[in-house]
Amino acid sequence: MIEPQDRRLLLTRMEAAQAETQRHLGVIERQIAARAERLTITDRAKRRQHGRSASSWTNADVRLFQQHVAELALARRGEIDALTRKLDRQETAIAEFRMRHRVSAAWR
């Protein structure tokens, strides 16, 4: 039988690992969005010039941005899929641990 202190420590470690995986996935998503924005700005700047008062993002820019996001996400899909699967496994492991040891989510 695992002591309550050890259970708490083990659960804390599992939750910390899950949070780190979520942070890593968030970093990748932000990197993709930032790169897509830079690509969009570069592509559109080559095609037109506008004054200071003009809007910098048009509907065409938004579509181009979304296209860049899709392309970059596709290029990194292996990494994204691996992290998503890892996150699913971690969530399952935490839920099973809580069920097995009768620990509620509010217990910390």
Q: Does position 48 have pLDDT exceeding 80, yes or no?
A: no
Instruction: Give residue 1's pLDDT.
Output: 63
Domain ranges of the chain: 4-100
Q: How far apart are CA 41 and CA 34, in angstroms?
A: 11
pLDDT at 93 over 90: yes
Average pLDDT, the chain: 89
For the whole model, what pTM was predicted? Answer: 0.79
Residue with tokens 């899909």: 77
> Residue 49: which residues within 8 A CB-CB, separation 6 or more?
none
Q: For residue 14, what pLDDT band results from cuts at 50, 70 and 90? A: very high
In this predicted structure, the answer to whether residue 26 has a pLDDT above a threshold of 90 is yes
Greatest Cα-to-Cα distance within the chain, rounded to the nearest angstrom = 71
Assign 3-state DSSP to the chain and report helix, strand, coil percentages, each to 5. Answer: 80, 0, 20
What are 83's two structure tokens?
């992290």
Q: What is the pLDDT of residue 67?
A: 98
